[in-house]
Amino acid sequence: MLTRDENELLTRTNRGTPMGEYLRRYWQPVLLESELPRADCPPVRVKLMGEELVAFRDSSDRIGLLDEYCPHRRTSLYWGRNEACGLRCVYHGWKFDVEGHCVDMPNEPAEYGFKERVFTTAYPARAWGGLIWAYLGPRGADEALPPLPEFEWAVVPANQRFVSKRLQESNYLQAVEGGIDSSHVSFLHSTLSAETHVSSTLGLQSAYMWRDKAPRFTVNRTDYGLLIGARRDAEADTYYWRITQFLLPTATIIPGPMNVDAPYNGHFWTPIDDDHCWNFSVSWLPGRPLTEQELQDLQSGNSIHAGVDQKTFLPIRNARNEYLIDRAKQQRDSFTGIEGVSEQDSAVQEAMGRIVDRSREHLGTSDTAIIAARRLLLREARDLQREGRGPAAVQRPAAFRVRSASMLLRRDVSYEETVKDTLTAPVR
């Protein structure tokens, strides 16, 4: 249960809001790297936390992220010409480099020297782990940027990971909360038999999740965010643990199948505005390239990677077509009648409304992980707002080198002691 004020604080992300300022202290994924595939390729519109921007890759392969609107007459630089290390407005020819300097102003007499005095808003952007990341926060006195988080999926070779992107038509926090809620997996993503999901790359096959639908949660505060353990009864002397991470500010890692050499999976949610967010999903293998079969499964639209329109990234199964729900299938064998793990998530999270009123919820002990994530975000955003204390995790990039897991543990074995050293991704 949150107050309305707390809900507002957590969900509003425009510049100047407490959460907007907090999130701007982190690097945020904003595009697939494939959306800016080569130098001087067409620019791409980017909306991030309410800011309308345009991204481009210049002739030197540097990535620029500028205010979408030309400071001259406020038309869109999206129509611009990406040429010779700058983005040129097609209206009057003003041209800007990746740092926002106006480097050409051909419609003004050169002797006036206007261009030296004109800048547009520009944010640092980097390619990292198959994604383009942006930093919208303040810089240090020496103009230093925070380091990029060292997610294992970002540091493995490109052929060991698969990344995708989809539009979600809700506030980012609803999506994040879905990502750390192990309890829903036994329902939303299940079938009517003990085989809870058909995708071979997802860790949802366990019969334990089907048999014990009321996990008990353990949360631990960590340098990167939260370590979340969901414990289910397994055999007479064992528990089944599904261990996930909530990584500040808006990411999760979820385990692959138990005892199988299958990909790890994760999500990162980036607020577009208060009513929409991007879901970046990633699957990776630490030790070998993905096989053709694994790639096919990840691209099938039946895993955590949704089938989407390649221009808009709107899922093919979306609210407008009721996610192509098949009621007969729902009666027969699927809990939802909706295909695709991501689409199942979208259906329930978007149906809550663009920003759910959390003052009207009825939570309980099965919502422990969600409660913990909210409290952590609230605490961090307030620390920044009241005391100017920025998030410590930003300066600890190696803390993000963690892995999730699903495992059987004897009931008399301490979960905390067991996982303490086993969920860290080795440094290569």
Partner 1 sequence: MTTGPNPSHVIAVEDYGEATLRNLIAHLDVSHSFEHCIYRESELDAVWRLLDIALERGDGAVLPRERLLELRDAIHQAHDFAADEKPHEAAARLRRELRTV
Interface with partner 1 (CB under 8 A) = 1, 3, 216-221, 362-365, 367-368, 371-372, 375-376
The helix/strand/coil state of 359 is: helix
Give min distance, CB of 2 to partner 1, in A.
9
Number of neighbouring beta carbons within 10 Å of residue 309 = 12
DSSP 222: -
Q: How far is the CB of 301 from partner 1 (least distance, A)?
A: 35
Closer to partner 1 by Cβ: residue 1 or 194:
1
Minimum CB distance to partner 1, residue 371 (Å): 5
CB 294, min distance to partner 1, A: 36
User: Half-sphere exposure (CA, 13 Å, Cβ side) for 124?
Assistant: 16
Radius of gyration of the chain (CA): 23
CB of 5 to partner 1, least distance (A): 12
Q: Could you tell me the two tokens for 178?
A: 């879905």
Contact between 113 and 73 under an 8 Å Cβ cutoff? The reply is no
Residue 143 or 387 with smaller CB distance to partner 1 = 387
Map residue 122 onto helix, strand or coil: strand
Reading the block at residue 158, the tokens are 């490109």
**Residue with Cβ nearer partner 1 (117 or 362):** 362
Per DSSP (E only), the strands in 141-288 are 161-168, 216-221, 225-233, 238-247, 251-254, 264-273, 276-284
Minimal distance, residue 48 CB to partner 1, in Å: 30
Write the DSSP symbol of residue 102.
Answer: E
> Which residues does 223 contact at the CB level (< 8 Å), separation at least 6?
392, 393, 396, 399
Query: At residue 308, what are phi and psi to the nearest 5 degrees?
Result: -130, 160
- Report the alpha-carbon angle 382-397-14, nearest 5: 40
The two structure tokens encoding residue 167 = 């539009």
Task: Quote the least distance from Cβ 151 to partner 1, whole Å.
Answer: 24
Q: Which of 129, 229 has the CB closer to partner 1?
A: 229
Q: What is the separation of C-alpha 188 from the centre of its chain, rounded to a whole number of angstroms? A: 20
- 244 burial via Cβ count (<10 Å: 0-12, 13-18, 19+): buried
- Give me the least distance between CB of 227 and partner 1, in Å please: 10
C-beta of 369 vs 425, nearer to partner 1: 369
Residue closer to partner 1 by CB (options 98, 219) is 219
Report, in Å, the least distance between residue 415 CB and partner 1.
11
Cβ proximity to partner 1, 215 vs 340, nearer residue: 215
**Is 38:44 a contact under the CB 8 Å cutoff?**
no
Cis previous bond, 42, omega within 30: no
Q: In degrees rounded to 5, what are phi and psi of residue 212?
A: -115, 105
Q: Which is nearer to partner 1, 354 or 382 (CB)?
A: 382
- What gap in Å lies between CA 76 and CA 70, rounded to an integer? 6
CB of 218 to partner 1, least distance (A): 8
Report how far residue 305's alpha carbon sits from residue 283's, in angstroms, rounded to the nearest whole number: 9
The Cα 145–Cα 24 span in angstroms is 12
CB of 230 to partner 1, least distance (A): 12
Q: Among residues 191 and 220, whose Cβ is nearest to partner 1?
A: 220
Q: Which is nearer to partner 1, 116 or 416 (CB)?
A: 416
Complex with partner 1: residue 219 or 393, whichever CB lies closer: 219
